Chain A
Amino acid sequence: MQARFKLDYPGFTLDVDLSLPDRGVTALFGPSGSGKTTVLRCAAGLERAPGGFFEVAGDVWQDEARGLFLPTYKRPLGLVFQEASLFPHLSVKKNLEFGMKRAGNAAGAGFDAMIELMGIGALLDRDPERLSGGERQRVAIARALLTRPRLLLMDEPLAALDVKKKREILPYLEALRAELDIPVLYVSHSPDEVARLADHIVLIDGGRATASGALVETLARLDLTAVFAEDAGVVLEATVGAHEADGLTRLDFPGGPLYVGERSEPLGARLRCRINARDVSLALTEHRDTSIVNILPATVVAVAAAETPGHALVQLRLKNDGPLLLARITERSRKALAVTPGQDVAAQVKAVALL
């Protein structure tokens, strides 16, 4: 996917040139007003960037150099807005059929499977206004996907939902992530959602893309931690290795393992977990006289000042060619331990969030 958009608004300029994978979920992450939604709208053809270029999996939808600009309704895309924009004058079923019919899927290929995946079978005859916020978003996602799009665009689909509804809908999005073989552009300002759903991340600030890369590597970059501030941390992909007798589950990955409270997933299942920098502390030796279970040998790669005053961020590489980890420690401890690149340390992981 290639996206080149330059747009001038009074007091704001969007200028991005992105090369993104044609598979998986790409998160457009940034503060509100950074221009991430405008990027999405340009990709959808709802805004037209003069001189813009947009290509998905080999199909060019906009190339102003050749005078090409497909209007939105001619682009095979699915679009999910922040508030579900279901048509209030149509039932759920009619809403789903609206796009299906027009996209040449009148026969409803994949209809039953999609209803099943999004868990909306019982809602088909209802009016949109009688659905909960989470149900509406699930219908909106199903409606978008039933047009069999080649690109799915999601503009903060969870932002209008409360925490409980978010938890209710996230599993559906994760199921979707596993099922979909089309690229997804996912606009979000929630580090949590990004950590759970994204494979690739683009950081957007002030109308520019400040970084773009695979999620795992990008989150571990020290120069970008200002963006995540208190939420700085890394994401790891791990495999369920064992369910141990004392009620802990072992997660395996190079540089691991990590022990977490018992999980219901079967052995061999892939899990994503998030380790916040503030939950990692450092020791020069591997203490065994501590209640912390997860102590991993690592090497210091780099040190930088943290957003929080009086604190430093330490980038670590776990041993055995493991992934990068971030640790947030106080300036005082950094001086006391004389933390320097190349030094071997023990990373004490106080909490692992399983996603």
Chain B
Amino acid sequence: MDSSALAAVWLTVKLATLVTVLLLVVGTPISWWLANTRSRLKGPVGAVVALPLVLPPTVLGFYLLVVFGPRGFIGQAMDALDLQRLPFTFAGLVVASIVYSLPFVVQPLQNAFEAIGRRPLEAAASLRASPWDAFFSVAVPLARPGFVTAAILGFAHTVGEFGVVLMMGGNIPGKTQVLSVKIYDYVENGDYTQAHWLAGGMVCFCFVVLLLLYGGRKRGAWSR
């Protein structure tokens, strides 16, 4: 493997780790709200969160480019604040990945929170635990399998994305050139040997992740 391939691997790991952490931070309140709300907005919000599941990544990437680009409202707002615009930067990749992988984190968390039900939280309240206290001392530990699934899916899905990162990040080695884009690069240049190394590595990685996910789920290893 040459150094640019290693750089792509490193960039991918860095991106996926950062995105997973941020997704757990962003996704937890969203899924908690979705699991507990009786609001009429539950349906629409759930649908918006799930959109990346069904939309072609290029559509997502296109709109992200539009919104964050020089004529987009967020792009212009960032210009006004003297911030660097996001397209074709690492930060842009992070934002795009968060949007793209959000449903993979929100849905397992929402399922886990819904499976807990109201009862343990009511019991916690009757034992003088404030809502925040009950959330961290009861809901989070009980939803642990959901958190593990969400983190694994969020990480793996971010590693595996292609269309969105290509549209939003482009193909700048060491900056926005992630693994999947690098493979595309190799194939386009006819370098099948290098492509094999990376592609085969991805197959192994994804297999191990899914093995962990399904094997762990079966044994109930994460239930505590």
Residue positions of A touching B, CB distance < 8 A: 44-46, 71-74, 77-79, 81, 83, 85-89, 98-99, 102-103, 143-144, 147, 153
Given A46-B122, A85-B119, A89-B224: A99 in contact with B127 (beta carbons within 8 A): yes
Contact B127 A147 (CB under 8 A): yes
- Give A103 to B128 CA distance when docked, in angstroms: 6
Which positions in B face A, CB cutoff 8 Å?
119-120, 122-131, 133-134, 137-138, 141-142, 144, 224
Whether the pair B126, A77 counts as a contact (CB closer than 8 A) is yes
Q: Is B128's CB under 8 angstroms from A87's CB?
A: no
User: B128–A79 contact, CB under 8 A?
Assistant: no
A46 touches B127 (CB 8 A): no
List of A residues within 8 angstroms of B122 by Cβ: 44, 46, 72, 79, 81, 85
Contact A85/B224 with A73-B130, A99-B128, A103-B128 known, Cβ cut-off 8 Å: no
Q: How far is the CB of B26 from chain A (nearest CB, A)?
A: 25
Given contacts A88-B142, A89-B224, contact A73 B123 (CB under 8 A): no
Candidates A46, A81, A147; contact of B128 at CB < 8 Å: A147
The CA of A44 and the CA of B130, in the complex, are separated in Å by 14
Residue from B123, B129, B131 within 8 A of A81 (CB atoms): B123
| Closest 3 pairs (CB-CB, A-B) | A99-B127, A79-B126, A102-B128
Q: Point out the residue from B119, B125, B127, B224 that lies within 8 Å of A71, measured CB to CB.
A: B125
CA distance A5 to B123 in the complex (A): 22
How many Å lie between the Cα of A98 and that of B224 in the bound state? 18
CB distance A46 to B125 under 8 Å?
A: yes
Residue with the greatest number of chain A CB neighbours at <10 A, chosen from B123, B134, B138, B144: B123
Which single residue of chain B is at the shortest CB-CB distance from A86?
B123
Query: Are B125 and A102 within 8 A (Cβ)?
Result: no
A85 to B130, CA, bound (A): 17
Cβ–Cβ < 8 Å partners of A79 in chain B? 122-123, 126
What residues of A have a CB within 8 angstroms of the CB of B129 in the complex? 73, 98, 102
